[in-house]
Structure 1
Amino acid sequence: MAGVSRTVACLRFGGDDLDPDEISSVLGREPTYARRKGDVWLTPKGLRRVAKSGIWILNTDDAEPGDLDQQVAALFSGLSEDFSIWRNFARLYGGDIYTGVFLSQSNEGLSISPLTLNSIGVRGLEFGLDIYSNTDDDQKGVSEVADETLD
């Protein structure tokens, strides 16, 4: 079995009462993008939307070949290590590590280390996998995939 061709990953929080500035201040980093409930934004196709909920997303670089262990480590690097704060944000705002796994063949696989799984779990975050086969027409990046799932 070959390793997966590409992986994308991001850290997400979302909720009606989410204040992106609070999350940035407490965790210690600005997001890749964020918005509050009611903010007006444009889709990649130029359509005007009103945010149904608040969102805070931190992306990491795509990995080719896929490497979720490295990507999760990069997401947590430099952020607060006060796990009680993380668990509180995860409880309030449904925090997760959201990933996309892109296959170029029908039989590719990956492993995720116990260290990575623990680093996600101790923060109270969920771990989500979206798996895209080599027959999927639309090979999206993490920003488009992650944003679509929350709107």
Structure 2
Amino acid sequence: MNRRQYLIALVIAAIFSACGTKANTQGRQESLDGKWEVKLSETEDNSSTENVKMTLEFNLAEKRFGGEGICNTYGGDIETLNSSKGTIRLGDVISTLVACDNMAYENALFDRLPEVRRFQMKEGKCYLYGEDGETLLLILIRQ
């Protein structure tokens, strides 16, 4: 193969590689799969969750979810998921039992997860709604 053919092959490979990367990134943004930062839609005492760091990770292949609360790790099963309809049902949450400050936020997360029935992806965020499909329970921001 001469130098010119080699350069053409290299350019074509780079173009296909770049296209594949963009497609994978776009597909990932539209999928629940992966790690998210959790924001509570509201708290009972209307306190800010701005400095509270909690995560939620979905593993769709294994039908599992989990993450890190304020002091505990947690997880559970994804009981049902229909991505085309935007419906999901999460099983009961299991977690470690470490006590710390700001447990109210973590408890609210653990209470809300089994109530989730619908999700909506919008502008890089995922909104999780309750039984009625209208009550916003959690806001997820892609990490």
Q: Normalising by structure 2, what TM-score?
A: 0.29
Structure number, greater radius of gyration: 2
Which of the two has greater strand per residue?
2
